[in-house]
């Protein structure tokens, strides 16, 4: 096995871990009207559901609203 620096080991380990998890597909419409599909890991979908539930809106609506959040500089 090849020896990797610690940061590369962590990166590669996270890639493998992520590929073993169940992924969730959320279909939503972007602010320009484009249809989008976002693939989320289990931890991400739980957090998205929590936020949507707190706001009383759907995941799809939350993603649409999130598209209007300005990109951090």
CA-CA distance, 35 to 62, in Å (whole number)? 14
Please answer whether residues 60 and 40 qualify as being in contact, where contact means their C-beta atoms are separated by less than 8 angstroms: no
User: Which pLDDT score, from 0 to 100, does residue 22 have?
Assistant: 86
State the Cα–Cα distance between residues 46 and 50, nearest whole angstrom. Answer: 6
Spans of all domains in the chain: 23-73
Q: What is the pLDDT of residues 3-61, one digit of tens each?
A: 888 999 999 998 888 788 888 999 999 999 999 999 998 889 999 999 999 999 999 99
User: Tell me: the pLDDT tens digits for 55-73?
Assistant: 999 999 999 999 999 888 8
Crossing angle of helices 42-55 and 59-66, in 10° steps, is: 90
Question: What's the confidence (pLDDT) of residue 27?
Answer: 96
- Taking the model in full, what pTM does it have? 0.72
DSSP state, 29? E
């Amino acid at each position: 096995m090849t020896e990797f620096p610690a940061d590369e080991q962590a990166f590669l380990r996270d890639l493998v871990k992520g590929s073993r998890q169940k992924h969730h597909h959320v279909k939503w419409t972007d602010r320009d009207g484009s249809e989008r599909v976002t693939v989320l890991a289990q931890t991400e979908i739980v957090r998205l559901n929590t936020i949507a539930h707190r706001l009383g809106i759907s995941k799809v609506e939350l993603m649409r609203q999130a598209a209007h959040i300005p990109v951090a500089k």
